[in-house]
Amino acid sequence: MALAASVALGACTGEAPAPAGSATSSPSSSDAGTAPGPSSGAGAPSGIAVAGAPGPLATLVRSVYTSGDLTQTSTPSAGAALKARKSAGGPVDARAEVGSWMGTPVAVVTAGDDVTLAVGPTWKVVGGWWPSLGVARPSLGGGPRWVLAIGSDARKGQPLERTRADVLQVIGIDGNGGGGVMGMARDLWVPLSTGGKGKINSAMVFGGPRAQVATVRSVTGLPVEGYVVLGFAGFMKIVDEQGGIPIVIPRTVVASHARNMVIKAGPQTLTGAEALAYARERKTLPDGDFGRSRHQGEVILAAAVKAKLAGPIAIPAALTSFSKVGTSNLTAEQILTFTAGLHQLSPLKVGRGVAKGAFGWAEKQSIVVLGAQARSLFAAFRDGNLS
């Protein structure tokens, strides 16, 4: 289960820093002291301290708060947002957490209500929000935006990106505090980007996750940016490492595929195995695959709530954790601004839905025929909001 980008993109995380010395890790909060403070750094602006940051990142953050020139050290969108900023009116006590995304260093720096998002190794500001500097709106890549979370059906020894997609969930944000999670029934019979027609989740078998994204784009009309892919083992590992997923289960589920594991109704914290069983069960549900897709959306939103409570500072550790077990074609800038955008969502402006259809037959197999309900859902999601 691609737990919203693990969950989205990093949502089921705590605040543990990336393990030192890992192949994809970069300096983390354990590097506190590498960034000279206001009294220890030669020439450092007085009153601006950046704990936990390597020297170049600390210098970049100080430039943000002293109205320094960011022409070469920010993306065009972030630079435009910060152009009219005012200097800090007093001391700044900032904290940095550093991790990595597919081998690229990423960082989140917080100072009060301010959040600065940066990408290395030559550190550059790629987004954030800075109310203390008079910046009116967050800079998070605009909106609406969509990412496809894919749960691979790969078993041990099988390629993660060349098996059927057991989970297809489109995660969207509108750039104005709203968003949504839309599940795609895996038996939807659609034109495939690789040619011919087939079940929507078979696109990854024939052409990998890029073909899966292209198929979803064509079917929904949504310009999905890219994908994150996670397998069963990786999903369970991430959930367990981060202490489970707090969720309210609407009704008891007996997972027939998981030796009749019982997931009881009511509030509880799911382990990795329980969360996977809940997200994959369909045979005992009255609405079958549609119900399973609905459960997957519930798990993603529950993980997103946990992420929001942990705060943006937890994002680097989550992205580092995902990078060890999942794959993605999103750049560090894309994933960092998208994931931070999830922290800007209002719970009252986030909805979920499942693209359904009538049952039918094609090529001697049961399928779901794309119909008016699904097309209406796609149209409703074009603003990035399903609330």
Residue 366 lies in a domain: yes
Instruction: Tell me the Ramachandran region of residue 205: left when phi exceeds 0, alpha when psi lies from -120 to 50, beta otherwise.
Output: alpha
Same domain (yes/no): 97, 216: no
Tally of domains in the chain:
2
Residue 166 lies in a domain: yes
Same domain (yes/no): 132, 163: no
Task: Map residue 357 onto helix, strand or coil.
Answer: strand
The CATH number given to whatever domain includes residue 359 is 3.40.630.190
Same domain (yes/no): 334, 367: yes
pTM of the model: 0.85
pLDDT of residue 203: 96
Give the residue from 237, 276, 307 showing the smallest Cα distance to 13.
Answer: 307
Pairing assessment for the beta strands 357-362 and 266-270 based on DSSP bridges: unpaired
- Out of 77, 111, 139, a domain closes at 139
Same domain (yes/no): 234, 114: no
Same domain (yes/no): 203, 73: no
Same domain (yes/no): 61, 126: yes
Residues spanned by the domain of 87: 48-139
Same domain (yes/no): 368, 280: yes
d(CA 111, CA 58): 12
Residue 238 lies in a domain: yes
* Other residues' Cβ atoms within 10 Å of the Cβ of residue 308: 16
Average pLDDT of adjacent 10-residue blocks, the chain of 387 residues: 37 33 36 37 64 97 95 97 92 97 98 97 98 96 95 84 90 95 93 96 96 98 97 89 91 86 93 90 83 86 82 94 95 97 90 93 92 96 96
Residue 18 lies in a domain: no
**Token reading at 341:** 């955008």
d(CA 259, CA 150): 24
- Out of 79, 110, 139, a domain closes at 139
What number of residues does the chain have?
Answer: 387
**272 — phi, psi (to 5°)?**
-60, -45
Same domain (yes/no): 190, 209: yes
Same domain (yes/no): 176, 87: no
Same domain (yes/no): 68, 97: yes
Residue 10 lies in a domain: no
pLDDT of residue 259: 83
Same domain (yes/no): 189, 116: no
Same domain (yes/no): 125, 190: no
- Out of 139, 171, 196, a domain closes at 139
d(CA 287, CA 87): 57
pLDDT of residue 45: 52
Residue 34 lies in a domain: no
